[in-house]
Amino acid sequence: MSILVDQNTRLLCQGMTGWAGTYHTNRMIQYGTKVVAGVTPGKGGKSHLDVPIFDSVAEAVRTTGARANASAVFVPPDRAAGAMIEAIEAEMPLVVAVTERVPVLDMIRVREALAGSRTRLVGPNSQGVLAPGVCQVGVMATDRAYRGTIGVVSRSASLTSEVISQLTAAGLGQSETIGIGGDPVHGMSFVDCLKLFFADPHTEVVVLIGEIGGTEEQQAADYIRVAGAKKPVVALIVGKHAPARRRMGHAGALVQDAPADTDSKIAALRDAGAVIAPSPHLVGVTTRDLVARRAA
């Protein structure tokens, strides 16, 4: 049983007929994800990758008898917010937006649409969600992932691939991996994901991958402290040597003042009881040693 995607996930892909949509939809199909529909305005009535294409999310849901229960957004940045809002208005339970560089003001509109809705949004700028061996929704690498009991939630796509490889090499499979995205305005947060992992009987340990910029890591620490560390958390925070007030990579990686810097985030999580991985190359070892101590 997974927390966001599983064998019952029936995926609709928005922007499926473009290059990126085609490539990654085909990867998801090959992985075993049930892709039931695509949406590209103006191409309704056609078929792509042996999947029916519709002009709108609402039409796809109606025509497929409400079988679609998740959406992946591969729409260009200038239209991505409209695609997300369309899926929200169609009451899609899960929307995963992999699109990068969505304007911040557009995402504020999306956040307003999310308020009070039935939709969980992952992203944008997300590598997606992966339940190893069961379902892939997104663009993440899958070759090193395998089924297990370690939950992973991350702001960084590249570090997620590295950490998954380390966990697998250490003999630790993953229950689910969630890339929340690194943009300053996005959907599900670290806290949202921790709540789901803490409630999941198949997840024993959570690995949290954070970075400079914003205060989501401190919010996660506050949640762990108040709710209690229901499960062990291993945290990696990167960006220690990033220069202040200079944007590093995507929009979320910007240190202005504490508490957006690495040291403040590490201190908050350590004080909340998380185990801090001292370096990106030691996450697998740190998690393996934690699991071994718990089993002793």
For residue 138, is it within any domain? no
94 & 235 share domain: no
In angstroms, the CA 179 to CA 138 distance is 9
What total number of domains does the chain contain?
2
Q: Which amino acid is residue 158, in one-letter code?
A: S
114 & 182 share domain: no
Whole-number pLDDT of residue 242: 66
171 & 117 share domain: no
Give the residue among 201, 203, 192, 259 at the shortest CA–CA distance from 227.
192
In angstroms, the CA 231 to CA 196 distance is 11
87 & 215 share domain: no
Q: What is the CATH number of the domain that holds 116?
A: 3.40.50.720
66 & 115 share domain: yes
DSSP 3-state of 229: coil
Whole-number pLDDT of residue 229: 73
Q: Which structural domain, as residue segments, surrounds residue 32?
A: 10-122
152 & 287 share domain: yes
Per residue in 44-87, pLDDT tens? 999 999 999 999 999 998 886 558 999 999 999 999 999 999 99
Give the residue-averaged pLDDT of 260-289.
Answer: 95
What does pLDDT average to over the chain?
Answer: 92
- At 131, which helix (H) or strand (E)? strand 128-131
169 & 228 share domain: yes
Would you name the residues annotated as active-site residues? Answer: 250
Per-residue tokens: 190: 């670290």
79 & 203 share domain: no
In angstroms, the CA 277 to CA 15 distance is 38
**Confidence at 243, pLDDT banded by 50, 70, 90:** low
For residue 132, is it within any domain? no
147 & 244 share domain: yes
Whole-number pLDDT of residue 258: 57
> What angle is formed at CA 161 by the lines to CA 283 and CA 95, rounded to 5 degrees?
115
165 & 288 share domain: yes
